[in-house]
């Protein structure tokens, strides 16, 4: 099952690798863990949304179509934010034109992500009820939050990174 949560699988299973490295280095353990996560995700989704077999198949098709695009945009958004943070660390010496370009890129990516989500929701609306769609949105958020939580904990359960200067976990 190719849920948006395949992103979560990559975060959970291989936190030290970038998205490109993950795609290039699938280990048997990683593949097995991703498969287990995807199967469990499918079970939870089916149960919480009350989906029948036909709806599950349709959901798999929709996710198979939208998840790769959303994953690519998410990766590009993270990289853009990283570059912007890096540039801003230069303080008054920050390259104004570069910061401007990164802001424009960020806004463009956000628009692309929203357009994809709107298209996905329109398609989901052809076989899911509005209540199922709302539950699905909430479920996706829960999975993303949990994946981020696990990513921050890192492979040994300790905090992975902190925000500079905040003293709070990221």
Q: In this structure, is residue 71 part of a structural domain?
A: yes
Q: What is the pLDDT of residue 73?
A: 97
Count of domains for the chain: 1
The answer to whether position 170 is within a domain reads no
pTM of the model: 0.70
Residues 87-140 have pLDDT tens digits of: 999 999 999 999 999 999 999 999 999 999 999 999 999 999 999 999 999 999
61-82, pLDDT tens digit by residue? 999 999 999 999 999 999 999 9
- How high is the pLDDT of residue 32? 87
User: Does residue 167 fall inside a structural domain?
Assistant: no
Determine the pLDDT at residue 157: 54
Per-residue pLDDT reduced to its tens digit, 139-152 = 999 988 988 888 78
Name 49's Cβ contacts closer than 8 Å, sequence gap at least 6.
55, 128, 132, 135, 136, 139
How far does Cα 57 stand from its chain's mean position? 21
Residue range of the domain that includes 73: 6-153
Question: Would residue 27 count as lying in a domain?
Answer: yes
Determine, yes or no, domain membership for 122. Answer: yes
On average, the pLDDT of the chain sits at: 82
Distance from C-alpha of 2 to C-alpha of 41, rounded to nearest angstrom? 10
Question: Does a structural domain hold residue 1?
Answer: no
Q: What is the token pair recorded at 105?
A: 């890129």
Confirm whether 119 is domain-assigned: yes
Query: 32 in a domain, yes or no?
Result: yes
For the chain, give the number of residues.
170
Residue-by-residue DSSP string for the chain: ---TTHHHHHHHH-TTS-HHHHHH---HHHHHHHHHHHHHHHHHHHHHHT--HHHHHHHHHHHHHHHHHHHHHHHHHHHHHHHHHHHHTTGGGS-HHHHHHHHHHHHHHHHHHHHHHHHHHHHHTTTS-HHHHHHHHHHHHHHHHHHHHHHHH-TTSS---B-TTT-SB-
Query: Measuring CA to CA, which residue among 126, 116, 32, 45 is closest to residue 76?
Result: 116
């Amino acid at each position: 099952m190719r849920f948006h949560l395949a992103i979560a699988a990559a975060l959970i299973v291989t936190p030290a690798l970038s998205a490109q490295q993950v795609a290039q280095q699938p280990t048997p353990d990683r593949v097995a863990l991703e498969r287990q996560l995807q199967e469990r995700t499918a079970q939870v989704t089916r149960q919480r949304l009350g989906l029948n077999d036909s709806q599950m198949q349709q959901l798999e098709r929709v996710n198979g179509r939208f998840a790769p695009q959303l994953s690519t945009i998410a990766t590009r958004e993270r990289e853009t934010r990283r570059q912007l943070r890096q540039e801003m660390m230069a303080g008054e010496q920050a390259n104004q034109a570069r910061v401007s370009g990164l802001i424009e890129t960020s806004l463009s990516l956000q628009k692309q992500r929203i357009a994809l989500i709107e298209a996905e929701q329109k398609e989901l609306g052809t076989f899911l009820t509005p209540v199922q769609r709302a539950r699905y949105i909430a479920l996706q958020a829960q999975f993303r939050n949990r994946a981020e939580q696990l990513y921050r904990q890192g492979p040994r359960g300790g905090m992975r990174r902190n925000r500079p200067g905040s003293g709070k976990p990221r």
